[in-house]
Amino acid sequence: MSIISKDISKAIQLLTAEDIVAIPTETVYGLAGNIYSEKAITSIFETKKRPFFNPLIVHISSIDELSTIVDHIPVKAQLLAEAFWPGPITLVLKKKAIIPDLITGGKDTVAVRVPNHPTTLELLRRLEFPLAAPSANPFSSISPTTAQHVDTYFKDTIKMVLDGGACTSGIESTIIGFENDEPIIYRLGSTAIEAIETVVGHVDIKNSVKSETADIPDAPGMLARHYAPKTKTVLTDNVLETIKRYPNKRIGVLVFTSKIESTSIKTQIVLSKLGSLEEAASKLYNALHQLDTEHLDLIIAEEFPDFGLGKSINDRLTRATKN
């Protein structure tokens, strides 16, 4: 049985004893362990049923620690870290030899970020080692944005969920790699591409769900089938028309700002009445978790505007349809 608690000292005790603990971040909850403990890291992979080739993100408490983890910091990586940390940007950089291969899936690069959550920042400051933390969900299911989501997944397999409330950003960090010292987006996420471009100029997106490499696990980033509710999900720019194609089904609908009027809808969630993409992103996974418990035949999700966090939301919704 796991305990859900705000007790940072208890989390420190467990992590120091090479146990794993679920921790809050501003994006999603992570399943954390000491990066230098083979026992803890193996346990993260086993608990998530995640393949070992899929590398983990290293969480540090401040930008000052970056040079202890990575060998080379391109100028634009430094600019991004200064602009956005603590915050939802992960940088993939050449790793130092001290970083275990188990963390990086054998790659010579490591993903690293400073999360922006007061509880986890205090935890990281008090620990003597960084934390590896993938999202605290079984491989390819919806990421958790509350302590309760984590508990539902792992109550029988982990000892503690450090409770930091609901995640404020609600989708994973934006992951940026470097090729010839130039930044490339490997995963769209909670930091909008436009915000990144104001700091470092134009950046290309690689391995988004629509790109050809999305299914190659070796390509940095992630697999196309990800973040999937168990319920069949479709994404559309016309919810009403799509409803008509599924007569006599129990339908759940997920929309951005305005409710759809239709008697065929069993449950409907509006993500932001005011049309805020930030608010919609913060509520997205909770809505998918909720819809997934309602024994629906189908979830119909509305496409978001293709800019800012709308791009990241569309990326996750597209992945959710690949189930």
Instruction: Name the site residues for ligand TXA (rule: CB under 6 A).
Output: 25, 27-28, 30, 54-57, 88, 90, 92, 104, 107, 109-111, 115, 133-135, 172-173, 175, 186, 220-222
Nearer to Mg ion, 135 or 208 (CB): 135
Strand partners, 4: 161
Nearer to ligand TXA, 214 or 235 (CB): 214
Shortest spacing between CB 82 and ligand TXA, in angstroms:
19
Separation between Cα atoms, residue 172 and residue 170, nearest integer Å: 7
Kindly report the length of the chain. Answer: 323
Shortest spacing between CB 92 and ligand TXA, in angstroms:
4
Shortest spacing between CB 74 and ligand TXA, in angstroms:
15
Using CB under 5 A, which of the segments 18-26, 43-51, 133-141, 240-248 binds Mg ion?
133-141
Nearer to Mg ion, 133 or 160 (CB): 133
Position 141 contacts Mg ion (CB under 5 A): no
Using CB under 5 A, which of the segments 52-60, 109-117, 129-137, 289-297 binds Mg ion?
129-137
Residue 302 binding: pick among Mg ion, ligand TXA, none (C-beta 5-8 Å cut-off by kind): none
Q: Two tokens at 292? A: 């997934």
Q: Going edge to edge, which strands form the sheet with 265-270?
A: 233-236, 298-302, 251-255, 265-270
Separation between Cα atoms, residue 152 and residue 208, nearest integer Å: 29
Nearer to ligand TXA, 2 or 312 (CB): 312
Separation between Cα atoms, residue 302 and residue 187, nearest integer Å: 21
Residue 54 binding: pick among Mg ion, ligand TXA, none (C-beta 5-8 Å cut-off by kind): ligand TXA
With a CB cutoff of 8 Å and minimum separation 6, the contacts of 293 are none
Nearer to ligand TXA, 175 or 309 (CB): 175
Shortest spacing between CB 155 and Mg ion, in angstroms:
19
Residue 22 binding: pick among ligand TXA, Mg ion, none (C-beta 5-8 Å cut-off by kind): none
Is the torsion defined by CA of 121, 56, 87, 170 positive or negative?
A: negative
Shortest spacing between CB 245 and Mg ion, in angstroms:
31
3-8 long-range contacts (CB < 8 A, ≥24 apart) are 3/159, 3/160, 3/161, 4/147, 4/148, 4/151, 4/160, 4/161, 4/163, 5/160, 5/161, 5/162, 5/163, 6/119, 6/162, 6/163, 6/164, 7/162, 8/119, 8/122, 8/123, 8/126, 8/162
Given the DSSP bridges, would you call strands 131-132 and 204-205 parallel, antiparallel or unpaired? unpaired
Nearer to Mg ion, 36 or 139 (CB): 139
Q: Which residue's Cβ lies closest to Mg ion?
A: 135
Nearer to ligand TXA, 137 or 233 (CB): 137
Nearer to ligand TXA, 188 or 251 (CB): 188
Are residues 89 and 33 in contact, defined by beta-carbon separation less than 8 angstroms? no
Site size for Mg ion, by CB under 5 A? 1
Position 43 contacts Mg ion (CB under 5 A): no
Shortest spacing between CB 239 and Mg ion, in angstroms:
28
Position 173 contacts Mg ion (CB under 5 A): no
Residue found by looking up tokens 């705000």 in the block? 6
Position 47 contacts Mg ion (CB under 5 A): no
Given the DSSP bridges, would you call strands 30-34 and 21-23 parallel, antiparallel or unpaired? antiparallel
